[in-house]
Amino acid sequence: MLGALASQILQVAVALALAPLLVGWVDQCRAWLSNRRAPSILLPYRTIHKLFVKDAVVADNASPLFRLAPYVVFGAMACAAAIVPSLGTALPFGTAADTIALVGLFALARVFIALAAMDIGTAFGTLGARREMFIGFLAEPALLMVLFTASLISGSTSLPTIVDTLAHGPLGIYPSLAFAGVAFTMVSLAENARVPIDNPATHLELTMIHEAMLLEYSARHLALLEWASALKLFNYSCIGLALFVPFGVASGANALAILGAAPVLIAKLAVGGALLALIETLSAKLRIFRAPEFLATAFLLAVLAMLVKLLLGA
Amino acid sequence: MDLTPLGLVAAPLAAGVPGQRAQASSGQLLTACRLAWENDGRLVAMWGTDERYRQRGFGLRVVVEDREGLTLLEHTLPDDRARYPDVTPIFPAANRMQRATFDLLGIAAEADDTRPWLWAESHATREFPLRRDYTVSEPQASRQDEYEFVRVDGEGVHEIAVGPVHAGIIEPGHFRFQVVGEKVLRLEERLGYTHKGVEKRFASCSIDEGEKLAGRICGDSTVAYAWAYAQAVESAAGVLPPVRARWLRALCLERERLANHLGDLGAIGNDAGFAFGLAQFSRLREDVLRANATAFGHRLLMDVVVPGGVAQDLAFEHVHAMHDEAGRIARQVRRIREIYDEHAGVQDRFRGAGRASPELARTMGLVGLAGRASGEAHDLRCEYPCSPYDLLDVRMAVQSAGDVWARVAVRFDEALESARLLGIITTALLDPATMSPVQCALPSRTSANVAIGYVEGWRGPVMMALELDDDWTIRRCRPQDPSWCNWPVIEHAVIGNIVADFPLINKSFNLAYSGQDL
């Protein structure tokens, strides 16, 4: 039990520490792919550090909700990191919360950040919040469908169990997971405010979704939110890896196995991050009203995955 | 335009293009504008001047352009209580020019829209800096909130105010959207935040200092402004610069056009979320600017064009380098154009966004690059080619779709055409026939008191009007950016588009702020 607890704490710590690195890596890959010289991979850490040492400026008419939201969002993302098996499946916390709770955690963060964005009453915050909820309500069902497909295969909605089944059970090839994988990639792009749905690098306030909601934040609040979005990307990447390439994740609380899983995780994240950068470089941003088509496609693929599993048992 | 049926006596106008000038009463002013409109014409510029010290009251100047060239209409108002006729029913673009004329000089049109255009911030609206008896007073409290935007009422309609401070580092402009959901019902622009008194400053400049100031009105069009100014001065002097200077000016103007088009093509791609385009085009633009710095000592070519010629000759090795560079850039631009054309996502963003129909373009008087993307086939380099363009046979790029895609297509065509012209120009510069001094002296007295320079900059035609005394003292200098005519069109082009597309549409026009606020 003590080992499991250590494994749990280690995984959250790894997530908190590595998340900005993943963002830095994706930014580096994006720069290389467009023939630019890349910024340092440590840039996100420096940004977060810089923001933490600055003095916070808060709008006069901000309510306590506005100040609270960054902590709630960060907390939710850290919690999610405790549920997603990134290094090992021995997660005591995992039994307390399954995939549905995980989607709920993401939704909680979304609701808080959207409320905080509307709290100040600026046009951009409201605009961003509205768009965020619009994207969210299209993305969430697709995400749930993907997770249900994996749950059907393993007969459990608990992520550690799913990973155990897929990684350590009898080797099986699941066509349903192929559909689910594509659907999950699309949902991840939308949920993490990446091109083609949103553009994390834009400075055009009228086109922003995620960034528009953060416009009023500064200093430690902004640092927490930046860190939380890095964590979100990390979590989504780990969910994707857990569902579709679960190999190398340690089962049980064996310290050696968990340490061995770390390089595998980093390698998988590096490849995943590079692929994300490739997708972003090759795409232009969609018009916002094309987002429903994009996410409906994701939903359709997720439903197909489930049907393949249910009807064909594959 | 034949003015004789109106009872006007036309005199030739000293200008870089064919032109005439005439004194007009208020009735004749309106009729002449109407006639110009019917003759495929459009409003180029409107400004006022204080001539009370010469016992002539206030002067109003209206420049219209039609198929036969420029017509400068001069109207005199006895005092500031007199009104001149409102020409906005004929030329909608006149609205802001009339308001700005009032803000600067205190002479008003018989128009309904009397809102200030320049003076809402920290200046008393009853002080007029272009009057000769104006003295600077203390800045006053901000009056920005008093400006009355037109509102739209209805279920679910709300207002989005953007700027003048933006999330990115761009020039200040305020945009007031009335939207329902994401759809734009109405947009109203508010500019003037970078007004700095350029016209007032001109009045205290010598003719040589004026060149420096002209080159700094709009940094991205510095060659066009400097050439327009030099052209006006040379027209007033009745001299033509030496042949080599003329070729070097064309070289600079085409390099400026090329650099700006390259920058814009990248930035438009970036605004569509295609950062790859920005990276590629930024690199190409940087190559052009660095070659400028090596050859002329300034990245944007400021102060290269001077009255009487150009400031310096170009060494042969730089001519050779620019010749090779033009071919290389053309090849790379063609390659990236294929990528843009074949990219479904980029094309989806470009097509149909921010459409300014040919009818709208004609009615509103859309000019320059944006005009050519909406079927307004006007390019001074083709219509009134000044030397050396008369030898270059410029191919005009025209599209009729009027959307972002069309403005991108015109930019691609013009960038490639500029690269082709640069090849010809650099070849000509190596020709012994173009060897000559690069500057000529100006006579000590002017031969005309009013002169206009008119040059096709990358954004559109740039006009410089000079009113001079015989001893070259500048009485009045009016720089006119094509943006004056194009900004109002954006308000129409975005209607029905989604708010999130506005930055892309705005960038596809890429109009001047500082250059128009003066």
The per-residue pLDDT for range B235-286, each reduced to its tens digit, is: 999 899 999 999 999 999 999 999 999 999 999 999 898 889 999 999 999 9
Q: What is the ipTM of this complex?
A: 0.85
A55 Cβ contact list (under 8 Å, min separation 6):
A219
What number of other Cβ atoms are within 10 A of residue B416's Cβ?
20
Q: Give the Cα separation of B401 and B370 in Å (integer).
A: 11
Same domain membership, residue B236 and residue B162: no
* A36: nearest CB among B162, B274, B279: B279
Terminal alpha carbon distance of chain A = 36
Tell me if A203 and B271 make a contact (CB, 8 A cut-off).
no
Same domain membership, residue B203 and residue B183: no
Same domain membership, residue B209 and residue B178: no
A264: its two tokens: 């595998």
* A34: nearest CB among B271, B279, B502: B279
Q: Give the Cα separation of B213 and B461 in Å (integer).
A: 19
Domain that holds residue B68: 4-109
Confidence label for B411 from pLDDT (cuts 50, 70 and 90): very high
Mean pLDDT of A32-50: 93
Out of A19-33, B185-199, B450-464, least confident range = B185-199
Q: Give the Cα separation of A231 and A239 in Å (integer).
A: 12
Note the pTM of the prediction, 2 decimals.
0.90
Cα→Cα distances B58→A49, B33, B96, B122, B336, Å: 62, 20, 19, 26, 53
Tell me if A284 and B273 make a contact (CB, 8 A cut-off).
yes
Instruction: Give me the CATH number covering residue B12.
Output: 3.30.460.80
Tell me if A202 and B273 make a contact (CB, 8 A cut-off).
yes
Nearest-CA distance A245 → chain B (Å)? 30
Same domain membership, residue B229 and residue B335: yes
Domain boundary among B109, B138, B157: B109
By the 8 A CB rule, do A240 and A188 touch? yes
Q: Give the Cα separation of B199 and B338 in Å (integer).
A: 44
Which residues of chain B neighbour A196 with C-beta distances below 8 Å? Answer: 273, 345
Long-range contacts of A23-29 (CB under 8 A, 24+ apart): A23/A230, A23/A233, A25/A269, A25/A270, A25/A273, A25/A274, A26/A233, A26/A273, A26/A274, A26/A276, A26/A277, A26/A280, A27/A277, A28/A277, A29/A273, A29/A274, A29/A276, A29/A277, A29/A278
Confidence label for B142 from pLDDT (cuts 50, 70 and 90): low
By the 8 A CB rule, do A295 and A186 touch? yes
* B345: nearest CB among A201, A286, A288: A286
Question: What's the CA angle centered on A239, arms A238 and A242, to 5 degrees?
Answer: 85
A259 Cβ contact list (under 8 Å, min separation 6):
none
Same domain membership, residue B277 and residue B223: yes
What's phi and psi for A54, nearest 5 deg? Answer: -85, 160
Confidence label for B462 from pLDDT (cuts 50, 70 and 90): very high
Same domain membership, residue B65 and residue B35: yes
Q: What is the pLDDT of residue A201?
A: 81
The answer, for B161 touching chain A at a CB cutoff of 8 Å, is yes
* A284: nearest CB among B159, B169, B349: B349
Q: What is the pLDDT of residue B143?
A: 62
Mean pLDDT of B132-138: 79
The answer, for B272 touching chain A at a CB cutoff of 8 Å, is yes
- Is the pLDDT score of B288 beyond 90? yes
Could you tell me if residue B294 is inside a domain? yes
Same domain membership, residue B423 and residue B504: yes
- Is the pLDDT score of B141 beyond 70? no
Which residues of chain B neighbour A124 with C-beta distances below 8 Å? Answer: 160
Same domain membership, residue B445 and residue B354: yes
Q: Give the Cα separation of B467 and B235 in Å (integer).
A: 12
Same domain membership, residue B430 and residue B302: yes
Nearest by Cα to B100 from B509, B507, B479:
B479
Q: Report the number of distinct structural domains present in chain B.
A: 3
Tell me if A34 and B159 make a contact (CB, 8 A cut-off).
no
Same domain membership, residue B436 and residue B309: yes
A contact set with B (CB within 8 A): 30, 33-36, 123-124, 127, 195-196, 199, 201-208, 211, 215, 280-290
The answer, for B346 touching chain A at a CB cutoff of 8 Å, is yes
Instruction: Give me the CATH number covering residue B448.
Output: 1.10.645.10
Nearest-CA distance B182 → chain A (Å)? 9
The answer, for B283 touching chain A at a CB cutoff of 8 Å, is yes
Domain that holds residue A206: 2-312
Could you tell me if residue B121 is inside a domain? no
Could you tell me if residue B114 is inside a domain? no
Tell me if B273 and A35 make a contact (CB, 8 A cut-off).
no
Chain A interface, best mutation among B158, B160, B287, B502, by max A CB count within 10 A: B160
Same domain membership, residue B207 and residue B162: no
Q: Report the number of distinct structural domains present in chain A.
A: 1
- Is the pLDDT score of A20 beyond 90? yes
Q: Note the Cα B62 to chain centre separation in Å.
A: 16
Cα→Cα distances B328→B248, B389, B419, Å: 21, 23, 9
Please, is A30 exposed, middle or buried when counting C-beta atoms within 10 Å of its C-beta (0-12, 13-18, 19+)? buried
Same domain membership, residue B216 and residue B177: no
Could you tell me if residue B458 is inside a domain? yes
Could you tell me if residue B140 is inside a domain? no
By the 8 A CB rule, do A283 and B273 touch? yes
* A289: nearest CB among B275, B276, B498: B498
